[in-house]
């Protein structure tokens, strides 16, 4: 008898009563990141995006979000090497206002979308491959 975990083995919001197979839970997370990746406009500055990554890492490190140590280590690596997720300046609405911007952080950590690296806007996958990360 497996206990449901909100957003891992269930849907979100009004879909929270919908059970998701554990074999599909990773796909659910990837789809959530893709779904919220609807930002528009110019990208925020590299320093603003780096601050977003640092603040999210700090929040995650407090232990309330149930993230892995590996994720925190990946975030630290991105900050130390200055692989900074590129976050569009507009696109998020809702109570918290952070779903769209943070989807760009999550996507970059997963090797998708764009990042600032060495003063250039680049595809994340290319940078990670170049650095063998």
DSSP letter for each residue of 43-60: EPPHHHHHHHHHHHHHHH
Query: Do residues 113 and 86 make contact, with C-beta atoms less than 8 angstroms apart?
Result: yes
Task: State how beta strands 120-123 and 40-43 pair.
Answer: unpaired
Assess whether pLDDT exceeds 70 at residue 71: yes
Residue of 6, 35, 116, 117 with catalytic role? 6
Q: Where are the domains of the chain?
A: 1-36, 39-130
pLDDT (tens digit, 9 = 90+) per residue, 34-64?
A: 999 999 999 999 999 999 999 999 999 999 9
H-helix or E-strand containing 107?
helix 99-109
Is 6 catalytic? The answer is yes
Whether CATH 3.40.50.1820 fits 39-130: no
pLDDT (tens digit, 9 = 90+) per residue, 75-127?
A: 999 999 999 999 999 987 666 778 999 999 999 999 999 999 999 999 999 99
């Amino acid at each position: 008898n497996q206990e449901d975990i909100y957003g891992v083995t269930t849907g979100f919001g009004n879909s929270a009563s919908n059970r998701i197979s554990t074999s599909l839970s990773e796909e659910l997370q990837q789809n959530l990141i893709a779904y919220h990746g609807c930002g528009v406009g110019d990208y925020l500055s590299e320093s603003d995006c780096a601050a977003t990554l640092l603040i999210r890492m700090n929040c995650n490190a407090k232990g309330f979000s149930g993230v892995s140590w590996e994720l925190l280590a990946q975030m630290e690596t991105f900050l130390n090497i200055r692989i900074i997720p590129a976050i569009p300046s507009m696109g998020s609405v809702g109570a918290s206002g952070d779903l769209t911007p943070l989807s760009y952080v999550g996507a970059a950590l997963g090797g998708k979308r764009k990042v600032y690296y060495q003063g250039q806007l680049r595809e994340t996958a290319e940078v990670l491959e170049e650095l063998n990360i």
